[in-house]
Amino acid sequence: MRQFCTALLLCLIALPATAETLRIATFNTELSRKGPGLLLRDIRKGDDPQVNAVLDTLQQADADVITLQGFDYDLGNAALEAFAKALSDRGSPYPYHFAGPPNAGLQTDLDMDGDGKPGGAGDAQGYGRFYGAGSMAILSKLPIAGEDIDDFSTLLWRDLPGALLPQTEAGPFPSAEAQSIQRLSSHGHWIIPLEHPTLGRIQLMTFHASPPVFDGPEDRNGKRNHDEVIFWIHLLEGRLDVVPKKPFVLTGDANLDPAKGDGRSIAIQNLLAHPMLQDPLPDQPTVTWSQTGPMRVDYVLPSRDWQITGAQVMPINPEASRHSLVWVDLTK
């Protein structure tokens, strides 16, 4: 039986023991490596301390669906398949998984970060030293309706309603040409349909936003992070081509705390307060960075039609990640 009353656990609604529950989790694994293929190598070795610590954390959480960040993408999803096999070998099978083509490391031929030269990690559509660096993935015990996935990763930043495009006295930053091709998502924005045998179809919405730091007075990263978060409000309110169908759950790493840090916190404040969403774990930090201390950046936000039966920010395992795994239990 899952344990609901621990130090960081929020026990919200007492329901009969027979009620069917669904556990949704998000976890920034920080498993990204320095080059392509290295994560696959480390998973297959079987003795990498960080990989094993992440596997331990996922086993302990025992979620039905997990969104992962900081997981390197490869075109054949070989690393993700090897990772799922490692979990299955431990008795925690996740037969369904998904990782779409990311923006991280997707090179352009322009200077996208304003450092005066193209070809660097910051000149990709999303920051990355190689294609797929530190990307997103999904592990699921539920079937994924792959033909109905909505992937917004190619949406141009300038096409988001009210986009906060960076400007300087000289004009668009770093250039009008760069802004004409710049995508909004630093990694991706996905809506993944899951098929549950009794709860029906569930829309899993997920993303991993850019850190709102490492830039200059033009605040390019801060504005992009703001708009990556605000994207979901535009989606919920019907200003984009797709309107999510209930029930849904929004998960991911927003890289934005509601009260602390250098980011434009108003974006996550407005998302958390949105009338279509619930916030099961208010004011609970999910990461500890040496520069800032504890902050809340990882979120699982169910739609209002769910009943929440439990939720937890798990204790950080420093051998795995600086982030906590966050899970929420749901029923109808």
pLDDT in tens, 231-277: 999 999 999 988 888 999 999 999 999 999 999 999 999 999 999 99
The whole-number pLDDT of residue 187 equals 98
Stretch (H or E) spanning 50: helix 49-61
Report which DSSP code applies to 113: S
In a domain, 1, yes or no: no
What's the domain count of the chain? 1
Instruction: Please tell me the pTM assigned to this model.
Output: 0.93
Distance of alpha carbon 80 from alpha carbon 172, whole angstroms:
38
In a domain, 296, yes or no: yes
Report which DSSP code applies to 207: E
Contact 213/295 with Cβ under 8 angstroms? Answer: no
Q: Which two tokens stand for residue 92?
A: 């925690």
The residue whose two tokens read 């596997």 is 55
**What digits encode the pLDDT tens for the residues 75-94?**
999 999 999 999 999 999 99
In a domain, 3, yes or no: no
| Residue, of 61 and 14, whose pLDDT is higher | 61
**Nearest in space to 137 (alpha carbons), one of 197, 64, 188, 91:** 188
Distance of alpha carbon 65 from alpha carbon 139, whole angstroms:
6
> What is Dmax (Cα atoms) for the chain?
64
**Nearest in space to 186 (alpha carbons), one of 229, 233, 244, 142:** 229
For residue 121, give the 3-state DSSP assignment.
Answer: helix
Distances (CA, A) of 250 to 98, 150, 273: 16, 14, 13
Q: Verify cis geometry, omega within 30 degrees of 0, for the bond prior to 212.
A: no
**What digits encode the pLDDT tens for the residues 125-149?**
999 999 999 999 999 999 999 999 9
**Nearest in space to 127 (alpha carbons), one of 233, 239, 209:** 209
Contact 33/42 with Cβ under 8 angstroms? Answer: yes
Contact 327/301 with Cβ under 8 angstroms? Answer: no
Could you give phi then psi for residue 323, rounded to 5 degrees?
A: -95, 150
Question: Residue 264 belongs to what domain range?
Answer: 9-331
In a domain, 210, yes or no: yes
Contact 102/79 with Cβ under 8 angstroms? Answer: no
In a domain, 264, yes or no: yes
Q: Which two tokens stand for residue 264?
A: 């434009």
In a domain, 2, yes or no: no
Residue 183 has pLDDT above 90, yes or no: yes
For residue 71, give the 3-state DSSP assignment.
Answer: strand
Distance of alpha carbon 7 from alpha carbon 233, whole angstroms:
32
In a domain, 319, yes or no: yes
Residue type, 192: I
**What digits encode the pLDDT tens for the residues 272-313?**
999 999 999 999 999 999 989 999 999 999 999 999 999 999
- Look up the CATH number of the domain holding residue 321: 3.60.10.10
Could you give phi then psi for residue 176, rounded to 5 degrees?
A: -65, -35
Which residues does residue 310 pair with via DSSP β-bridges, in sequence order? Answer: 329
Contact 70/32 with Cβ under 8 angstroms? Answer: yes
Residue type, 94: Y
In a domain, 4, yes or no: no
